[in-house]
Amino acid sequence: MSIVMEGQNPSPSAELFVPASFDRAKADEIDRPVVGYWREAWRQFRRNRMALAGLIVLVLMGIMAIIGPHLNGFDYRTQDLYNMYAPPSAEHWLGTDVLGRDVFTRLWYGARISLLIGIFSAALDLLIGAVYGGISGYFGGTVDDVMMRIVDILYGIPYLLIVILLMVVMGPGFWTIILAMGLTGWVGMARLVRGQVLQLREYEYALAARALGASHWRILFRHLLPNSLGVILVNVTLTIPGAIFGEAFLSFIGLGIPDPMASLGTMVNSGYQVMQAFPLQLIVPAIALSLIMLGFNFVGDGLRDALDPRLRK
């Protein structure tokens, strides 16, 4: 008979030691659900508060650009010369401009035009730059040298000169600005995609596809360019605010959207001329333009951190 002394633990019995069950068939199973690349990127993006705030701002600005010009019943072209520079009121929520046009309606119509110019210019840059840079980087050699020298020549031409030439040939307008930006804006995208393809074409999956007899175009468009999509998306989100600012600059110097159309650049130009007497004419479009620029830049930074595995936390 064993005596347990005070302050001592009793010796464990064999009944306390039960072997754990072990199923060899389930030993290699992964209990955690599989998370895809884009789902993980979205999870990382949501953790970036500034990027998420930028996305919310852009969504709200996009919604207002669609429905804003129809909220108070005024047309952006309607003039009222007896009601020039009216202060904000129940009828004109942000007042009127030099021709008595409703500032609220023109603000959101101008935001629509600026956003469309930025999106279309970025899409044109993506279409031309990705294909051009991908072909240059994949084939390399003489093809790469010739194509990159063309890019260097285009990169050295001021896009303002191209805008002026197109204004003379086509006249000022919405599509003229997009075409002018697209003719020179894609060179940056081409250089970026070329660098990515030069690196990716030496990876194992590209070599395996080539060994299995896949054509050059299949390897380029099915393997290399899709694997460069993260970098391309980041560059596109940073290209859009650049195009919007370019349009604002052209409108500010009188080479942008003609009257009676409106853009944020034309409104800033009009407000700048009377900013001392009527500062609201400048403050309102400047704030809208700043929010759009900051929103795209924050989203671009968030996508860069989320899509690059080396920058994930």
Q: Please, what is the average pLDDT of the chain?
A: 84
- Asked whether residue 22 is domain-assigned, the answer is no
Kindly give, in sequence order, each residue whose CB lies less than 8 Å from that of residue 259, ignoring residues fewer than 6 positions away: 266
pLDDT at 157: 81
Give residue-wise pLDDT tens across range 149-174: 999 888 888 777 877 788 778 877 88
- Asked whether residue 74 is domain-assigned, the answer is no
- What is the C-alpha separation between 119 and 298, in angstroms, rounded? 17
Average pLDDT, stretch 288-311? 84
Instruction: Say if CB 189 and CB 130 are below 8 A apart.
Output: yes
Write phi, then psi, for 94 (nearest 5 degrees).
Answer: -120, 20
Burial class (CB in 10 A: 0-12, 13-18, 19+), 59: exposed
pLDDT at 190: 92
Residue 16 has pLDDT above 90, yes or no: no
Instruction: Say if CB 295 and CB 57 are below 8 A apart.
Output: yes
Confidence of residue 35 (pLDDT cuts 50, 70, 90): low
Q: Is 171 left (phi over 0), alpha (psi -120 to 50) or beta?
A: left
Which residue range forms the structural domain that includes residue 214?
Answer: 45-62+100-311
What number of other Cβ atoms are within 10 A of residue 113's Cβ? 25
- What is the C-alpha separation between 244 and 178, in angstroms, rounded? 10
pLDDT at 181: 83
Beta bridge partners, 96, equal 102
- Asked whether residue 213 is domain-assigned, the answer is yes
At position 25, the amino acid (one-letter code) is: A
Residue 52 has pLDDT above 90, yes or no: yes
Residue 254 has pLDDT above 90, yes or no: no
- Asked whether residue 147 is domain-assigned, the answer is yes
- Asked whether residue 229 is domain-assigned, the answer is yes
Q: State the total domains in the chain.
A: 1
Give residue-wise pLDDT tens across range 115-133: 999 999 889 988 999 999 9
Cis amide prior to 87 (ω within 30 degrees) = no
Taking the complete model, does pTM exceed 0.75, yes or no? yes
CATH of the domain at 276: 1.10.3720.10
Cα torsion at 254, 258, 261, 264 (round to 10°)? -20
